[in-house]
Structure 1
Amino acid sequence: MYEGVRNVLQKYRSGKLPKAFKMIPHLQNWEQILYITEPATWSAAAMYQATRIFASNLKEKMAQRFYNLVLLPRVRDDLAEYKRLNFHLYQALRKALFKPGAFMKGILLPLLEAGDCTLREAIIIGSVLARNSVPVLHSSAAMLKIAEMDYTGANSIFLRILFDKKYALPYRVVDAVVFHFLRFQSDSRVLPVLWHQALLTFVQRYKADISTEQRDAILELLKKQYHPTITAEIRRELHAAQCRDIEANELTSNHMVVE
């Protein structure tokens, strides 16, 4: 029966899916059954419908496996072959965000951890994050993880997209990101524009959440890692910053005056 379903999914364009396929998320051995249908051969439209069904009916852990083992390889193959992403696969990624935790752990982090994420992949998958709302908890966890990874241009793209969402981030995440940038203090590489842009976006959004010490450390870093147009802008933002410890001290002194 599932080999029959496979034949339908290979040619699927639109309309109803076989009932047997919709049953897969509810089966105990759903992964085995899924592989009988050979996901690598599905049409892009079938992949979108499958993602819809799995995002709604699987638990987070299972959805994460589906995203990681089926959806992510398909998206990467499509981009490698056609240099652009099929519309149905793009919609599938948007649907996958329905379970943000599974999206981060099944698509975003494995993609970056592989270390071979191309800038094209980062921009296209990043645009899915940029266009849709993601709960702050999942984004914060992703930022923490990305900040600890070895550096690639793709990391900067995703960090910048997440900074631009203007979350109220926990100080722990802000500190991790500051430390991520400070690691390049002793790096002899000429860092790409993407790195400088990510730092600028971070400083613009979170200059009030860093401590004076961190601000001074970033200013020191700018002497080593310099970009002719962006660095001056970062300095200007930092000099205008009202750091978090200054605010805290002012509040305390105002409180004493009131008393």
Structure 2
Amino acid sequence: MGKTKRAKPSEVVNKVPLEQDIYNSKFTKAKERHKLRLRQEEEQFVDSNLSKKILSAAREQQRELDDALPGSSHPKTTRLGNEDQSDSEEEDLEPDTFYENLEINEDDEKAMEMFMSSNPLPKRTLADIIMEKITEKHTELDTHFSEAGSVQMQDLDPRVKAMYEGVRDVLRKYRSGKLPKAFKIIPSLRNWEQILYITDPPSWSAAAMYQGTRYFASNLKEKMSQRFFNLVLLPRIRDDLAEYKRLNFHLYQALRKALYKPGGFMKGFLLPLLESGNCTLREAIIVGSVIARNSIPILHSSAAMLKIAEMDYTGANSIFLRIFLDKKYALPYRVVDALVFHFLRFERDPRELPVLWHQAFLTFVQRYKADISSEQRDALLELLKKQNHHTITAEIRRELQHAKCRDAEDANNIED
């Protein structure tokens, strides 16, 4: 038998129902020109990714134009809020998102001053550290490049010193654009503190401080970045707020970039700020807004809350505790217990506590009333009899009375 021949594609007839075949023979089919027209119209639109790039470039140009205008060196400041946390680069190009008029109540400032330490810790800057080392050794520091380079220098070469003095002059006037390459390699040097001291960080422009924080937060290890935040960034932020009563936009962005190293930020900036004992209400609100708007790992936040709860009390402590509590972390019981003891310390305090303390107390019981024990709940109810606020205390008492404590829940689980 011979092989059956396959029908050519053109000879294959599509099988359709009889009624459909009769309908097709009587009526003509409309051509699908509208689909082609729609596709052509769709191609005239710009896709979303390209739109974002165009908008970002436009905002960048607008910001550069605004920076060039006179009187724009110190934009509006920000106020404390609970807005969504985001680290997108588009936010960096929108200063109006963060900066609004910040009005500080004089009564609140006076209440804060009552709880400030009478013997604040002395401020230490990078210059102080370097001068101490020079005094101890009576010579310039022995300098070394990083271990990977294995290049050693017994004394600082005059040409290197002259080069970084030139970098210093650039950073004093820097507003935008590329930074000198000599500045970018500072984080990779083993004697980076000495080189940084030559560039005179207190004299940097605000934009240069932002760029410097970016490089040092990205390229230094956590302990090294902690020193940069403590010796360079913290004094600059406090001096700027004391001088202008508002924070430059670039310095605000520098604080946000510093959070890329959350451990270094907590140990080098936030905790030293509170341990100084003279953190003002303005400083607490602005730095707190940075923490509120950005995501921070629970480990670093828990450690910070534990340290703040154990510190000598100032009004700023309540502001930062409230901000961390509003993040609604699943805190370990150790941190919850430390916060309970933090509030119980004030049971016999004769002073009239500020509203900030009562607000932090209310936030704590609202968020973590199910994580305290029955004994702790009873102790907190007794505390309310000693420390009272005419509007907030009633709400705190209601939250505690309706709380299902953790030991009661554990007992129910065992019975089940």
* Fold shared by both chains (TM-score > 0.5): yes
Aligned equivalents of 1:22 and 1:88: distance in 2?
Answer: 18
1:240 deviates by 1.1
| 3-state DSSP of counterpart to 2:322 | helix
1:47 corresponds to: 209
Which has the higher Rg, Structure 1 or Structure 2?
2
1:86 to 244, 248, 254: 248
Q: Do residues 13 (structure 1) and 175 (structure 2) align?
A: yes
- Cα-Cα RMSD: 0.3
2:73 corresponds to: none
2:407 corresponds to: 245
Aligned equivalents of 1:156 and 1:37: distance in 2?
Answer: 37
Aligned equivalents of 1:21 and 1:182: distance in 2?
Answer: 50
1:29 corresponds to: 191
1:26 deviates by 0.3
2:323 to 129, 143, 161: 161
Q: Do residues 58 (structure 1) and 220 (structure 2) align?
A: yes
2:361 to 199, 216, 232: 199
Alpha-carbon displacement from aligned partner over 1:194-219 (angstroms, at most 9, x marks no partner): 00000000000000000000000000
1:257 corresponds to: none
Aligned equivalents of 2:412 and 2:273: distance in 1?
Answer: 44
Read off the aligned partner of 1:152 and give its amino acid letter.
T
Q: Do residues 220 (structure 1) and 382 (structure 2) align?
A: yes
Read off the aligned partner of 2:219 and give its amino acid letter.
N
Q: Do residues 174 (structure 1) and 336 (structure 2) align?
A: yes
Read off the aligned partner of 2:244 and give its amino acid letter.
Y
Aligned equivalents of 2:303 and 2:208: distance in 1?
Answer: 31
| 3-state DSSP of counterpart to 2:267 | helix
Aligned equivalents of 1:84 and 1:42: distance in 2?
Answer: 18
Alpha-carbon displacement from aligned partner over 1:73-122 (angstroms, at most 9, x marks no partner): 00000000111100000000000000000000000000000000001100
Mapping of residues 94-105 of structure 1, within 5 Å:
94-105=256-267
| 3-state DSSP of counterpart to 2:352 | coil
TM-score normalised per structure 1 = 0.98
Q: Any runs of at least 4 consecutive aligned residues in structure 1 with deviations exceeding 4 A, and if so which?
A: none
Paired residues, number: 254
2:308 corresponds to: 146
1:74 corresponds to: 236
Aligned equivalents of 2:378 and 2:281: distance in 1?
Answer: 31
Q: Which has the higher contact order (CA 8 A, sep 6+)?
A: 2
1:241 deviates by 0.6
Read off the aligned partner of 2:318 and give its amino acid letter.
S
Read off the aligned partner of 1:96 and give its amino acid letter.
A
Aligned equivalents of 1:147 and 1:11: distance in 2?
Answer: 42
TM-score normalised per structure 2 = 0.61
Higher fraction of helix: 1
1:249 deviates by 0.3
Alpha-carbon displacement from aligned partner over 1:39-97 (angstroms, at most 9, x marks no partner): 00000000000000000000000000000000000000000011110000000000000
| 3-state DSSP of counterpart to 2:306 | helix
Read off the aligned partner of 1:28 and give its amino acid letter.
R
Aligned equivalents of 1:204 and 1:71: distance in 2?
Answer: 35
Structure 2: state its 5+ residue gaps: 1-162
Aligned equivalents of 2:403 and 2:205: distance in 1?
Answer: 52
Read off the aligned partner of 1:6 and give its amino acid letter.
R
Alpha-carbon displacement from aligned partner over 1:214-241 (angstroms, at most 9, x marks no partner): 0000000000000000000000111111
Aligned equivalents of 1:246 and 1:83: distance in 2?
Answer: 50
Q: How high is the sequence identity, in percent, across the aligned residues?
A: 82
